[in-house]
Structures are given as C-alpha cells and as structure tokens.
Amino acid sequence: MAKAYTPGLKVTPRIAFRSRRLLPIAGKVLVAKGDRVTGDQIVAETFMEGDVTPFNVASKLACTPAEVPTLLSKKEGERVEQDEVIGQSKGIFGFFKSECRAPVAGTLETVSATTGQVLIRGEPIPVRVKAYIDGVVGEVIENEGCVVEADSALVQGIFGIGGETAGPLAMACKDPAEELHEDLITAEHKGRIVVGGARVTVAALRRAKEVGAAAVVSGGIDDSDLKELLGYDLGVAITGSEQIGLTVVITEGFGDIAMATRTFELLAGKRGSNASVNGATQIRAGVMRPEIVVPLADGDGVVASKASEGVLEIGSLVRIIRDPHFGVIGEVAALPAEPAVLGSGSKSRVLEVKLADGEQVTVPRANVELIEG
Amino acid sequence: MQIGRTGRAESTRVHPSFPEKTRIRMTADSDHTPLDLSKISVILATDCGSTTTKAIMIERTPEGFRQTYRGEAPTTVEEPFADVTVGVVNSVSEIAELSGRRLVADDGTIIRRSSPDDPDGCDIYISTSSAGGGLQMMVAGVVKQMTAESAKRAALGAGAIVMDTIAANDKRRPHEQIQRIRELRPDMVLVSGGTDGGNTTQVVQLAELIAPAKPRPRFGGEFRLPIIYAGNKDARPAVEAVFDGPGFDLSVVENLRPTMEQENLGPARDRIHDVFLEHVMAHAPGYDKLMTWTDAPIMPTPGAVGDILQTIARRQGINAVGVDIGGATTDVFSVFEEKFNRTVSANLGMSYSISNVCAEAGMDRILQWVHLDMDERELRNRVKNKMIRPTTIPQTLEALVFEQAVAREALRLAYQQHKEFATTLKGVQQQRTVGDVFSQQTSGQSLVDNMTLDLLVASGGVLSHAPRMAQTALLLIDAFEPEGFTSLAKDSIFMMPHLGVLAGVHEQASLEVFERDCLIVLGTCVAAKGEGKIGKPCFKYSISGDLSEQGTMAVGELRRFDLGPGATARVEIQPERGFDCGAGPGKAISREVRGGTVGLVLDARGRPLMLPEETSERRACLSRWIEAMDLYPA
C-alpha cells in the first residue's frame, strides 16, 4: 500500500546541508574535494557560446544566395568586428558596389549558399557558479561543478522572490507576531538578512532596499503589497530571477500571519551569524522552496531535531494552511477514519487539531502541513 | 512485449476526417499472433498523471463491459522513488485488494491470465501518461497563421504541450527567436513550412535558426534531440543537411500542409507519438520498464482523451466539447462537424495557475459571480495561498463559492482561447461570388458553434468533485454558454484517458464503459440565444413524457426541473421574437431530451450571458439562480 504523502517544510537547527553547484554546460571546476570554501567564492566557470545573429547577405548585396560565398571577404571560422566590411557586390562594371557590414562582433559561423544567410556567433558569455554557503567541497562533479556541504541550521520558507544572497542575520522584530513595518528597518541593516515577525509591509521592503539590506525574511505579506513591490501581478509561482535589488522570503503565507515560534527562535538564536538565502520558489513539477541556511561553526554541538517521516499521527505538530484558522499551529488530537461533511458540502477526511488556547477544531487533512525537523 | 505501431496518414481536413485508428496489433506471444478480442474479459488500465496514478479494471459482464474497480496512488517519477512503476503497482494493488484478484506478480510485474478460468491476472494492460509534465514540444512554421498553426494543431492533437511557436513572421527578431529556443528544453521540435513544390528558402532558413541555437533536451547530455520535419518535400535535402550532426535525430514525414487548402496532420502526429515513446518515455524514470508491461503503446493523456471524444462524436454523429480543468492547465477538446481540435491553456488552472486566472480575468470579473460580500484584499491573499499550497480544499461555503467563481472564469478564458484556435484553415484562397463578398466570409472562421453543440463533458477536480451536481452543471452553463439543446455530463472518475487508449485496442469495450460507467449524465440545458429586457417574456415551454410542465420563461430567469437519469421528456419551445432556441429566431422547436442527476435546466438569461452591473441587483440575480438550481446549502 502506498504511503500517503504529506508535504512539510524544514525548520531545523542542524542538518547535513548539501548544495549542488553546477554549471549549465560543461566547464572547469576550480576547487577540489576537501577544499574549504566561502559562500561568494567561485567554484566553477565556463563560457557559453555567444548569441547567434543571423542576417541575409544576399538581400544586402542584391545577389543570389549561391553567389554569397564568393562575395564574402571572410570565411567560416574567421573573426569579424562589428561594422567590419565582410562582403561586397560586383557592382555595375566595377562601379556602384554595395557593401555588407557585420552587425555584431564575433565569429563567422556558417554561410548558406541555399538561403544567402550568414550566422555570426557573438563573444562567449562567461558563466560562473559560486559556492553559495560557507562549507567544504564534499564532491567534485567533473566538468560540471561540485557539492558544497556544511552542517547548518535550515529554515525553508513557503514563498520567495529574488535569487541567492548572503549576509549576517539581524532581528528587526522582538516577537514573531510583530508586524515588520518600515520604522523597524535602519541603516544598520545594510548587507544584512533582516528577520521580521508577522506581515511585512511594502513600505518596510522599500526601506530595506534603500538601506541596502541583502534580504528580508518574515511571516507573511499581502499579495497587494507584493504586486506593488514587483510592479506586476505574479502569475505562475516560479520565482528567483526577479531583479528588484532584494530577496524576500515569506515563511508562512499571504496575509497577516505570525512567523512560527520555532522558526523565529531558531533565527534569533543565530543573530549575527552569516546566512545564505535563496528566494527562488517553484511550486509546479519539482517543488523548490526558498531557504535560509546558516552553516554551523566547527564544534557547534547543537543536536539535530528528531526527523519526521512525513506521516500524520497523534501528537504531530501541524500548521493549518487554509482559511478558517489560516496560519494557526496546533497538535493533532484525533484522526477520524470516516470522511466528514464540511461547511462547503464536500466530504473529506479530516483531523482534529488542538490549538494553543485549548480549542479543538476540525480541519480537512488536505489543509494541514507537518512542521518537520 | 512492445508492439510497434503503424500509423496511417489522416485524410485531408476538408473531407470527413476522423483519424482512422489503426488496430494495434497485439501479440500474446513472440509468434506475433494477433489476440482474439472476443477472448478479452479483464482489462487493466492506468493513467500516470502529474500527481496521481489512477488504475481501473474493466470486466466483461452479462450486460457488456463495465468498469468494476479502481485504485489510485501518488505518482512516483520524482525522487525518492524515481520509478513510475512503483506508483503503478501501488494503484493496481488497490484494485487487487478490492477485487480479490491477484494482479501483481512476486517480481512486481502485471500478471496475465493463463486461461478464461484463471482467477488472477488480466488479459490486457494499457496505460496513458502525463507524468513529469507530459510531452513538451516546440513547433516552427514559416507563417504563424498558416503552417505554424497547422504544426501547432498536429502537436496539440498528439497530446503535447506546445512551449512556443516560432514563425518567420512572429514579430520577434531572429536573435530573440534563437535566444528563446536556447532557453527552452523541449522534448522534440516539429518543423513545418512551405507547400509541396513551393518555395524552399524560408523553411530552410527556419531550420538554420534552430540548429545553431542547439536546443537542449530535458533528459541529459547524451540525448539526441528529435526533430520532425513535416514541410515542403522539396526542401528535405537542405533540411537534412542542416540537422546532420550528433546532437539531432531527424525524421522526415509527409508535409502537414501540402497545399494551402489541405491539412495532413496524421503522419506528423503519428511520428510524434512514436518519438514520444522512443525518446521521451524511454528516458523518463521507470518508463522503459512500464513500456514492456503494456500491451499497446503508452499514449500522452490528452491524446487519449481526444481520441475517446472523437470516437463518441463519430459513433453518435454529434458535436461535442470536453474540458479537463486541472491545477495548472485546462485542456479543451472539441469535435464540430467531425473536425477535431484541442487546446491547452497552459496557465489557466485551479491551483498552480489560480493566480494567473485572477490576473488574466481580473478580480472584478471573478467577483461578479459571487453573491456574498467579500474583501478583495483578503481574496487576493487566499488566491496566492492556494497557489503556493495547491493541495488544499475549500472548507467553508464562502471559500467554495469563491473557488467556483474563479473556475467559471478559467473555463471561460480557456474556451475563448479554444474558439480562436479551432478555426477553418487560414490562408485559403476562396472562390467568391457576389453573395460571398456581401456576407464577408473569410477563411479562419471559428468552427465552434454553441448552437450546434450536442454534448458538453466535464472533468477535472473543481468540476468532478463539486459537492453538488447542480454546481457542476451551472459551472458549465455559465462558462461555456451553450445555446439551444445541450446535454451535460461529467467524467465520473477521470476515466476518459483509459478509455481513449482502450478505444485503439477494443473500441466496443471503450464505448460500452463510456456510456455506462464513465459519464455521469447531468441532464439537458435548453438555452435561448438573444438579448432582451429583464422580466420580458423569453420563451414558452411545454414538457411531456416523464415530466409534465408548461409555462413561460422571462428574460433573466433560470429554472430547473427534476428529470432523473434514464428519464426522457419531449420539450417544445416557442421563443419570442429575437430569441433562438435552435430552429432560428422566433421559430418553434421540439426535441426529446435526456434527464440526469440535475435534470432539465431552462436558461432564459440570454446569450451572450450578461450580468447586471449594479452590485446589489447582480447579487439578487445570482441569489435567484442559486435558489433555482438549489446550488448551495441554505
């Protein structure tokens, strides 16, 4: 019988974190197994073939495609500079010749006598991969990159924008239920990973950008504010390449939601430590969650929490992830076998969740997630 | 036992042209002796979806073939399993437990019956798949509205997601097109262009763009990207020279647009299927094993759904539309006058893509379907929370009402996209008479005609799992706006993919199960096309048979009558001037209708469907319709 799969987010003080740092195409790995690396150190590099620019020489020189190879002064494989004359028509009795100039610099890749089209391959584009976290190279993947390892504290968020960044952790809120508003962001947050509490406002995010913060982590955000920050309505949940000058990681969801106490305390305990953050999120086909990674110092004896197997059971800590009671954390009190009829009229398997104030609520099983770690 | 599939070219589109399903040669043993279909009594079928693998068992009973058991399990293409057969075995094991029939051998493979009396095993096992995102293709054609569009139709008909369409006239500069090709990671590329005997330059130029862009396939560095060339046959040598290299696997098929007046999609579609199996499926985790288990080629799920819809439309001589609204995409299939079309609205769906629906439709349009007071700022958060946590379900009535409002807009937008795509061939030179000139008929007319639509079939979570059948019925009516007389049905447990692939093996079995077990007939909608003042008479009705009623429907009114499954009634309609119920404006019409779980719905709200602009008036209207349909609990 297949196991039921219940998604969970990792929030743990210690995990053997491994990050695969790979080039998109074959290149050179600059580190060796066992090397100690820092997060911003380049571990692999390559050069991508330049962009291809096609242009039709036959139409430029008013000749047939078959004549093009004979009228070009450059051959396949030769370098050309931008605006360099690379071909000339025969003209009329040697007069009124027309010229053809290369639109870009690069290498003449192909000349087609069928179409008269010429392809110029532009300058190679350097591609470099950094280590992302302070750690040790655990594995080298020949010609592609490496795996960097570090025992780390790890917090996975639910949604993020922006790519990889790093900096020391700084706590802007005293309480996980405190809203992160702009007055709490100061010039001292420059280059920092700023940790808030509950909802972060768009004004606070703007202020964080102004002061040069590396990232902001908070419990919630209003979608209307996100739209204002991005300048557009986010469609499909695939993020990470936004160029807004700031990485944002939301740990709980959309709306005014307190950061989970466990998450807040974990990050507070690491204030001042260097953290690596990635806001990239992909919900569809291969879930990718945003993350905050804090490599532990050597000799740090913090113990890993008991790992959950991802199955709901009595006593499991869960978070309710849909209205009503959205964002509330509780403990599984009962797992009735029979489906129940919900307020919507649907029938669904449910569970009973005991909240912090003692109240017990009935929630569809699909509407909770485990707090793992 | 892997059976090769010999395709037959589809006849040209201007003639009745159902793709003739070549009987899949099946062998029970290595002697390649065809199986006797009359000996098939136990059929096992699976659909490997992106999230869930669903298995069904079909058995021969005294009443014919019936679906008897079903099971499901999470799909296992991703880590840690990375083997699709694990999920298949899990889902089949559920059937085994329920039926008491042993189906999985100790070595983990599917058991075949050794004799008619064998209590274990099945006679045939077939499967479809959309796991890992399904088949993702790029198509290229010379002219966007002509050969590129035909290429897109071929790809969609084969069940692919078309990631991008490159055309010489698509308004992008060549380097932008090349950059786009580089960014994508298609499973294969279909290149078309040029009628046979016509100009070769442009299609060769297109090939010369694709080759140096070096599109990288999804499945790793050693994989040679399949290119299918289906353009001007005179350009074949030049195209072969362009793709002559270690990174490509070129196959050449008949031109999919040999003349402007003809489409010939069959050879390209068949080759897409073959390449899908040889290259894509063979590289997807566990599929090489699964392919040895099945007794027919594994089909992409949407391809199978399209096939069963075409089979039904052909056998019953009707026009039909099918919709499958998923979490990320919405597929719409249509058969009008025997012409099949499929579109995939890749970013319209109810979970991953729900935010996109709201962005495209606009929150105002969605909220016009909601009779309750809701705060937009709060709703935007709920939408995004559903997007990032796609598996949640509405717990409260308010949440359900809002979700169904979003579904209406997702379906409406998807149908709109479908109508724009499912057209007569564009670029056709037409002989015109003076009368034609005045009627301003041009090529590229939508084939979709709601007045001639006979059957509307729904599938997908928000439709299939709506708490009340009436909700599914009204979702369909509001989104698709059928006119005249239209039967409404839903696919009870998303069995259409299984029946689609079964139709290629045992058409009779697939049809019997489709009629008896697959479809839940909701009933019939009778709707008047036209517009009028609210409250004025729209049409008179008289109903006899298993239901006896008569009366007048006023403009803006919706009424439902109980007419149960299996029941029939004769409905006579006399529309007022300006309203058309199928016989022409103001003309009486009489038809026999089928009942269903919802019954008979008379819709006098007009077409196009318009809602009052003023909020309180609109909510009052919606409340009346909700009451008429008994849509929600009080």
| Beta strand segments in B121-261, E | 124-129, 135-141, 160-167, 188-191, 225-229, 248-252
A282: nearest CA in chain B?
A: B388
Domain limits, CATH 3.10.20, in chain B: 37-131
Q: Which chain A residue shows the shortest CA-CA distance from B362?
A: A233
Are residues A286 and B78, on separate chains, in Cβ contact within 8 Å? yes
| Token pair for A313 | 């059971």
Q: Give me the pLDDT at residue B217, please.
A: 60
For B206, the token pair is: 């297109």
Q: What spatial distance separates the first Cα and last Cα of chain A, rounded to whole Å?
A: 26
Distance separating alpha carbons of residues B293 and A103, to the nearest angstrom: 56
**DSSP label at B515?**
I
Give the pLDDT confidence of A101-121 residue by residue, as tens digits: 999 999 999 999 988 999 999
State the smallest CA–CA distance between residue B199 and chain A in angstroms: 11
Domain count, chain A: 3
Q: Is residue A194 part of a domain?
A: yes
Is A138 part of a structural domain of the chain? Answer: no
* CB contact burial B428-441 (16+ within 10 A = b; e otherwise): eeeeeeeeeeeeee
Contact A235 B378 (CB under 8 A): no
State the nearest Cα–Cα gap between B424 and chain A, in angstroms.
Answer: 32
Exposure b/e, B124-141, CB count within 10 A at least 16 = b:
bbbbbbbbbbbbbbbbbb
Q: Residue A155's domain is classified under what CATH number?
A: 3.50.30
pLDDT in tens, A271-281: 999 999 999 98
Report how far residue A266's alpha carbon sits from residue A270's, in angstroms, rounded to the nearest whole number. 7
pLDDT in the model for residue B253: 96
Q: Is B219 exposed, middle or buried (0-12, 13-18, 19+ CB in 10 A)?
A: middle
- Report whether pLDDT(B499) > 80: yes
The fraction of chain A above a pLDDT of 70, given in percent, is 93
Chain B residues in contact with A369 by the CB 8 A cut-off are 389
B-chain residues near A320 (CB < 8 A): none
Give residues 197 to 216 of B whose Cβ lies within 8 Å of A. 200-201, 204-205, 208-209, 212-214
Please tell me the pTM assigned to this model: 0.79
Kindly list the residues from chain A whose CB atom is less than 8 angstroms away from the CB atom of residue B356: 235-236
> Alpha-carbon Rg of chain B, whole angstroms?
25
Facing residue for A52 by CB, picked from B132, B175, B467: B175
Evaluate whether residue A242 is within a structural domain. Answer: yes
Q: How do residues A27-72 score in pLDDT, each as one tens digit?
A: 899 999 999 999 999 999 988 778 889 889 998 899 999 999 999 9
B176-222: per-residue pLDDT in tens?
A: 777 777 777 788 899 999 889 988 988 998 998 888 776 666 655 55
* Residue in A51, A281, A284 nearest the CB of B179: A51
Let me know whether A113 and A157 are in one domain: no
Sorting pLDDT into bands at 50, 70 and 90, what band is B156?
confident
Nearest to B381 among A235, A255, A281 (CB): A255
In whole angstroms, give the CA distance from residue B106 to residue B171.
58
Helix-, strand-, coil-residue percentages of chain B, each rounded to 5: 35, 25, 40
> Is residue B510 predicted with pLDDT exceeding 90?
yes
**Predicted local confidence at residue B168, as pLDDT:** 84
What confidence score (pLDDT) does residue B16 get? 23
Mean pLDDT score of chain B: 85
CB spacing of B392 vs A367 below 8 angstroms: yes
- What the block records as the tokens of A296 is 């532990």
Residues 261-320 of B with CB under 8 A from A: none
Please indicate, yes or no, whether residues A240 and A358 belong to a single structural domain of this protein: no
CB-based contact (8 Å) between A248 and chain B?
A: no
Neighboring chain B residues of A53 at a CB cutoff of 8 Å = 174-175
For B631, nearest residue in chain A (alpha carbons): A345
Asked if A366 has any chain B CB less than 8 Å from its own CB, the reply is: yes
Same domain assignment for residues A155 and A287:
yes
- Calpha distance B420→A136 (Å, rounded): 56
- Residue A359 domain-assigned? yes
Residue B131 confidence (pLDDT): 64
The pLDDT-based confidence of A124 (bands split at 50, 70, 90) is confident
Question: Is A228 within 8 Å of chain B by CB?
Answer: no
Stretch(es) of chain B classified as CATH 3.40.50.2300:
134-284
pLDDT of B3 reads: 19
Q: Do A233 and A330 fall within a single domain?
A: no
Q: How far apart are CA B149 and CA B382, in angstroms?
A: 37
List, as ranges, residues 311-340 from A with C-beta within 8 Å of B: 321-324, 326
Cβ contacts of A55 on chain B, cutoff 8 Å: 174
pLDDT reported for residue B344: 80
Helices (H), A139-222: 202-211
pLDDT at B32: 39
% pLDDT > 90, chain B: 52
Q: Which residues on chain B are in Cβ contact (under 8 Å) with A286?
A: 78
Q: Do B355 and A233 touch (CB under 8 A)?
A: yes
Q: Do A1 and B93 lie within an 8 Å CB cutoff?
A: yes
Tell me, what DSSP letter sits at residue B352? Answer: T
Assigned CATH topology for domain B134-284: Rossmann fold (3.40.50)
Range of the domain at A363: 317-372
List Cα–Cα distances, B37 to B34, B299, B505, B509, in angstroms. 9, 20, 9, 10
Check residue A327 and give its pLDDT. Answer: 82
CA distance B230 to B266: 11
**pLDDT at residue B485, as a whole number:** 98
Asked if residue A115 and residue A174 are part of one domain, the reply reads no
Q: B303-328 pLDDT, tens per residue?
A: 888 888 998 899 999 999 999 998 87
DSSP state of A365: G
Same domain, A238 and A273: yes
Going by the DSSP 8-state scheme, the letter that residue A72 receives in this structure is: B
Same-domain check for residues A175 and A290? yes
Instruction: Evaluate whether residue A177 is within a structural domain.
Output: yes
Give the list of residues 6+ apart from residue B596 with CB closer than 8 angstroms, or none.
B469, B487, B488, B489, B520, B521, B522, B523, B524, B563, B564, B565
Q: Do A348 and A247 have their domain in common?
A: no
Domain range B37-131, CATH architecture: Roll (3.10)
Q: Which of A248, A254, A282, A309 best probes binding to B when mutated, by most B CB atoms within 10 angstroms?
A: A254
Mean of the pLDDT values across residues A81-95? 88
Q: Are B218 and B276 in contact (CB under 8 A)?
A: no
Query: Could you report the per-residue pLDDT of B1-52, keeping only the tens digit for each?
Result: 221 222 222 222 221 222 333 223 333 333 334 667 888 999 999 998 777 8
Show residues of chain B in contact with A110, CB under 8 Å: 208, 212
Residue B632 touches chain A, beta carbons under 8 Å: yes
Write the CATH number for A101: 2.40.50
Residue appearing with tokens 């009987």: B23
* Statement to judge: residues A155 and A289 lie in one domain: yes
Condensed to tens digits (0 to 9), the pLDDT of residues B325-375 reads 988 788 899 999 998 888 888 778 898 889 989 988 998 999 999 999 998
Same domain, residue pair A84 and A14: no
Lowest average pLDDT, out of A28-42, A238-252, B32-46, B594-608, goes to B32-46
Q: Which residues pair with A152 in a beta bridge?
A: A15, A295
More confident residue, B395 or A284: B395
Predicted local distance difference test score (pLDDT) of residue A48: 74
Query: Biggest alpha carbon distance in chain B?
Result: 75
Is the per-residue pLDDT at B443 higher than 60?
Answer: no
Q: Is the pLDDT of residue A306 over 90?
A: no
A172 and A281 co-located in one domain: yes
Model confidence pLDDT, tens digit, residues B64-82: 999 999 998 888 877 677 7
Residue A305 lies in a domain: no
Whether A291 and A165 map to the same domain: the answer is yes
pLDDT tens digits along B456-476: 999 988 998 899 999 999 999
pLDDT band at B282 (very low <50, low <70, confident <90, very high): low
